[in-house]
Amino acid sequence: MAHPTDPNCIFCKIVAGTIPCFRLHDDAQTIAFMDINPANEGHALSVAKGHWPTVHDIPADVLGAVAQTAQRVSKAVHKTLNPEGINLIQANGPGAAQSVPHLHIHVLPRWKTDNLAINWHPSPGDMAKIKALHERILANMG
């Protein structure tokens, strides 16, 4: 089946083969390759072949395929680098710092000392506020 594409999208160009990549995986629905601006050594991306900008646009089965590819890549990265941890990160929209509006999951090896600014420090929340938001989100679960 044909995927939606955007001729101006960098990841669509990689999927089409008009821009090169360091490919790790390729199947009918997904592609994975090394990130060329790595946040850490071994940073890779699992990418949908079709041009769907966010988790809200992409068909659920394709999102599942992107997650499976991220798992495959993550296992290989773990085996290769043995990092202290790996974050799977997926950004939607400018407030989440998404820079390429074509759905992808980052496979990001982590070390305790890497000081990457994607961590926050958990502290106990206001249970009444959490409960109220739980009710509002639950009502929109569909």
| Choice between 14 and 65, CB closer to ligand 5GP | 14
Burial of 111-137, coded b for 16+ CB within 10 Å and e otherwise, reads eeebeeeeeeeeeeeeeeeeeeeeeee
**Any bridge partners for residue 91, and if so which?**
none
Dihedral sign computed on CA atoms, order 24, 44, 1, 16: negative
Residue of 81, 88, 98, 114 interacting with ligand 5GP (CB under 6 A): 98
- Given 104, 106, 121, 134, the catalytic residue: 104
| Choice between 41 and 133, CB closer to ligand 5GP | 41
Joined tokens for residue 123: 């502290």
Q: Choose the stretch contacting ligand 5GP; rule: CB under 6 A; options: 52-60, 62-70, 95-103, 128-136.
A: 95-103
Binding to ligand 5GP in span 55-94, by CB under 6 A: 91
For residue 106, state whether it binds Zn ion (rule: CB under 5 A): no
